[in-house]
Amino acid sequence: MKSAATLVQGIFMSIGPVEIVIVLALALLVFGPQRLPQMGRTLGRAMREFRKASGDITGALSFADDDEDEKQSPDDAEAAATARDEVEAASRDEAEAAAPNEAEAAAQEPAAPAAGGPGAA
């Protein structure tokens, strides 16, 4: 013999299109054709508000989780600052190393003749 919980679960899990049509027909008979569309609109609005509220709550909880992830411990902040300083120092060193090479290259290139000079036509 099946338990009552299993029986109830089996009944609710086997609701198909025929059962839905029967329930809607009974609702039409009980409430009438004038009141049924109003009840449908009210039910639709309630479902829309519920979805909106649950989405807002989910978004708020997700936002709170993101805030916790962004908080850094003092050790993490110090490590980030050290890494930033090292990157800045390396880029400064590269710029200083490139400056003499550019000066040497400019000195080795022949100067272009001035316009209107002896070779101008």
Based on the structure, what is the number of domains in the chain?
Answer: 2
In a domain, 33, yes or no: yes
Tokens, residue 73: 């411990």
67 within some domain = yes
pLDDT of residue 104: 60
> Strand locations in the chain, DSSP E?
none
Longest dimension (CA), the chain: 116
Note the pLDDT tens digit of each residue in 22-65: 998 998 899 898 998 898 899 999 999 999 999 888 888 877 66
At residue 51, the pLDDT reads 93
Residue 71 sits at φ, ψ, to 5 deg, of -70, 135
Question: Are 50 and 23 found together in one domain?
Answer: yes
Average pLDDT over residues 3-10: 64
Is the same domain home to 62 and 90?
no
Give me the pLDDT at residue 25, please: 92
Average pLDDT value for residue range 99-114: 57
Q: What is the pLDDT of residue 88?
A: 80
Handedness of CA 104, 108, 112, 113 (dihedral sign): positive
The residue written with tokens 């930033």 in the block is 84
Question: Would you call 110 helix, strand, or coil by DSSP?
Answer: coil
pTM to 2 decimal places: 0.37
Domain span holding position 93:
72-105
Dihedral sign, CA of 27, 28, 29, 35? positive
Q: Is residue 30 part of a domain?
A: yes
Share of residues in the chain with pLDDT > 70 (%): 56
N-terminal to C-terminal alpha carbon distance within the chain: 114
Residue with tokens 């709550």: 57
Residue 111 domain-assigned (yes or no): no
